[in-house]
Amino acid sequence: MAMNKKEPGTNEETVSYYGAISRHESSSEAEGIPSADVSTCSRTEFREISRTAAPLVVTYLLQASLSFMTVVSVGRLNALDLGGVSLANVTFTATMAIFQGLATCLDTLCPQAYGSRQYQLVGLYFQRCLAISVLFAIPIALLWWFSAHVLPLVVDDSRLVVIAARFLRVMIVSIPGFVVFECGKKYLQAQKDFVTGQYILFVCAPLNALANYLFVFRFGMGYIGAPIATSLTFTLMGVSIIACIWYHTGKNGELECWNSLSNWRPIFTHWRTMISLAVPGIVMIEAEFLAFESLTVLAANFGTDALAAQSVVASIQGLTFQIPFATGVAGSNRIAYYVGEKQTNNCKLATRSTLMHIGGILAVANFLFLVGGRNYLPSFFSKDENVARLASEILPIIGVNQFADIFNVLAAGVLRAQGRQRIGGVLNIIAYYAVGIPLALTLGFCTEMRLKGFWTGLGCGIVVLAISEVYCVWNSDWPRIIHDSHLLHKISENDEE
């Protein structure tokens, strides 16, 4: 990934910034032949990716706070309610990850289409993803409705099952809003709009906290008030982002990045192309979510306090995870834009800045935060001293895990930008289910480590995954990736026409 040297006489006008259209387009670009690179530099990439990552970090943290707030509010009631809601949150997170995985195909397709100036394809991809998500929503809603019959297969405590099942039935209402917001967010990010989602959550996240307080405590509804508050919040988020998209469409009647709904037939064609990217994306996210969340389910075998402590550390881990994940999205968008623009060396420079420079800083920062705050962070989630003590003992292990996981998350973002989610999916399955989970179960149940053993074993899988994904990214065949991307969009472009 050697950095390009700036040619003599090159000035600032020739630098290709994210979202900018070079003034020096050639006929070869129009014919689909990779264009000569317009040089950038590592400093520019670091600055631009960091700048776009900042609002995304806020967005993802605020979005994660919605589920986190249910744990905080119910944690003030009692350990039993916290355990049941934690079980419901595990199921919610694991199944909603399917929609997040589906939306990862937009991380590949939309920025690449925008970078190659095929603007109407950006809107068409968004519409297709929404249509596909509707089909996936039906079995997920049915699973939640009948969860009282499914959860006993993994949890013996009938009291926890009753609480979790009631929680999930209410959360069915949240699915449309969640799907629309997730896809709408990707659609806007591909067009350099990284702040609309943030602004929506600036309003919705505080409203969610207020609603949790009112429904759980003020109105005396108990734990069932938490899913009511969260469902209302997701619905408001979905309506808000559609309103923003509609406003910009109405304001600019010839909006470039939109496929007119009167041209509806292409929305229901070429799903195979999107699904071929979406399914590995689901595997990448789902494999990691299920690996982490399965530990919460299994922690019920160690008692209610252990389950509550596991819920606390999982919530903390989930919040800190949002920082590298958001940064990976920012890096993915920038790299995918360069892929669409056919700028080979700029792809390499953006990848190097994402993994080495930004990744190194985030790895150290997250480690210090988790280890240094181990005696203080758990108290924000539970007033039970025994639960807080158990959680504080696990946080240093999570700090080590996060150090490695940051490189895994950023490398996964690069793979999404390249359209190589399939590689990430295979590596996730191997790392978590051939290494991480077996070690976690062995250390957790066959030694005295219990919860510590869970997180230590899983950490070994994370290290394997980080090393393997970084290796694949570092040895990328960028000319081949750019060529495949051009062919992929050519199919949709011909269909749209």
Tokens coding 290: 């299920």
Residues 198-239 have pLDDT tens digits of 999 999 999 999 999 999 999 989 999 999 999 999 999 999
User: Count of CB atoms within 10 A of residue 137's CB?
Assistant: 17
What's the rounded Cα separation, in Å, for the pair 197 and 181? 8
* Closest of 384, 365, 394, 387 to residue 458, by C-alpha: 394
Is the pLDDT assigned to residue 15 strictly greater than 80? no
**Contacts of 193 by beta carbon, 8 Å cutoff, 6+ apart:** none
Is the pLDDT assigned to residue 132 strictly greater than 70? yes
Is the pLDDT assigned to residue 250 strictly greater than 90? no
Query: Residue 32, SS3?
Result: coil
pLDDT, position 409 = 94
Output the pTM of the full model: 0.83
Amino acid at 426: V
Count the alpha carbons within 13 Å of 206 in the hemisphere toward its beta carbon.
5
Is the pLDDT assigned to residue 75 strictly greater than 60? yes
Is the pLDDT assigned to residue 3 strictly greater than 70? no
pLDDT, position 39 = 64
